[in-house]
């Protein structure tokens, strides 16, 4: 179990759908990496598709805001994917760690969201939609203890779809982050890039308010989602520009939702925010 080839395991970083992710060090170079361990011997079609997508996309996407794949190798028990180690951990844990509020300042959220748009734009330009964007799949290169602002690293391309010019019709992802047209998929096709943009709206909301706009526990979850009916907490101060992005991204009709270029040109990203925002 501990046989990781020329790496030595240092700890566990996360447990996911098909395997776990461990922190490890390269025995000769001393480089620290994260290794996703996918058990061999699972031959289900779903699993094989997942693994091949993960490797294909993560190796073809080379960008500072995307977790870099280092190497793929086999151990007696696993298919191992060694990747760049994001020492700041994932954004879900990071957001939750801001206690007692459990949310980020608007300034922090904006810095992260802006990077998300740049990294995702790169993926979309290359014809790849992630389809599983959520706080857990966004990593940070460092914790902000030292005062410097962390760089975002998008990870987990296990559900990614290439050739986004054609549309998808399978509902993949995580329900609270799924766009209305994705939840309703099967009835009709959807544009995976536009669905990614919706998920980014959910991510922005979650960073700002420490909760999701649509609650899966709510009996009316689907109905509210399909109508994009959600509320914004009145007790959290957020600028009008920021609310404007949220309002125009969390739009049920994908053809009326802001696209990448419109978001990147939005006035929220211009100038600086008032102190305390």
Return the active site residues. 132
Contact 95, 207 (CB under 8 A): yes
Q: Is the bond preceding residue 100 a cis peptide, omega within 30 degrees?
A: yes
Could you list the residues that contact Mg ion (CB under 5 A)?
A: 137, 156, 158
| Binding at 90: pick from ligand ADP, Mg ion, none (beta carbon under 5-8 Å per type) | ligand ADP
Closest CA to 78 of 5, 16, 160: 5
Reduce the DSSP state of residue 161 to 3 states and report it: strand
Pick 36 or 212: Cβ nearer ligand ADP: 36
Give min distance, CB of 16 to Mg ion, in A.
5
Residue 83 as a binder of ligand ADP (CB under 6 A): the answer is yes
Give strand pairing partners of 9. 24
Among 3, 8, 10, 17, binds ligand ADP (CB under 6 A): 17
> By beta-carbon distance, which residue lies closest to Mg ion?
158
Contact 88, 144 (CB under 8 A): yes
Any contact of residue 65 with ligand ADP (CB under 6 A)?
Answer: no
Task: State yes or no: residue 14 binds ligand ADP (CB under 6 A).
Answer: yes
139 binds ligand ADP (CB under 6 A): yes
Binding string, residues 94-133; x marks residues near ligand ADP by CB under 6 A = ----------------------------------------
Strand locations in 205-252, DSSP E? none
The first and second tokens of residue 100, run together, are: 């007692």
Q: Rounded to whole angstroms, how far apart are CA atoms 160 and 56?
A: 10
């Amino acid at each position: 179990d501990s046989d990781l080839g020329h790496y030595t395991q240092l700890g566990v970083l996360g447990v996911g759908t098909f395997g776990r992710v461990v922190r490890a060090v390269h025995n000769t170079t001393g480089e620290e990496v994260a290794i996703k361990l996918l058990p061999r011997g699972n031959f289900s079609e779903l699993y094989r598709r997942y693994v091949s997508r993960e490797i294909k996309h993560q190796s073809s996407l080379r960008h500072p805001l995307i977790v870099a794949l280092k190497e793929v190798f086999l151990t007696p028990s696993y298919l191992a994917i060694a990747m760049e180690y994001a020492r700041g951990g994932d954004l879900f844990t990071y957001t939750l760690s801001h206690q007692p509020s459990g949310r980020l300042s608007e300034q922090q959220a904006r810095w992260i969201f802006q990077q998300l748009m740049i990294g995702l734009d790169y993926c979309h330009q290359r014809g790849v939609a992630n389809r599983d964007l959520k706080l857990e799949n966004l990593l940070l290169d460092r914790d902000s203890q030292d005062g410097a602002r962390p760089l975002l690293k998008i990870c987990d391309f296990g559900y990614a779809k290439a050739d986004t010019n054609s549309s998808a019709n399978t509902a993949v992802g995580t329900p609270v982050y799924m766009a209305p047209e994705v939840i309703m998929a099967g009835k009709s096709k959807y544009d995976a890039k536009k669905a990614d943009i919706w998920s980014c709206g959910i991510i922005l909301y979650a960073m700002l308010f420490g909760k999701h706009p649509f609650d899966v526990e709510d009996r009316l979850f689907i109905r509210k989602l399909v109508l994009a009916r959600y509320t914004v907490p009145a007790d959290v101060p957020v600028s009008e520009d920021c609310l404007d992005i949220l309002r125009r991204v969390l739009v049920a009709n994908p053809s009326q939702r802001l696209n990448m270029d419109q978001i990147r040109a939005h006035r929220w990203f211009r100038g600086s925010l008032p102190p305390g925002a």
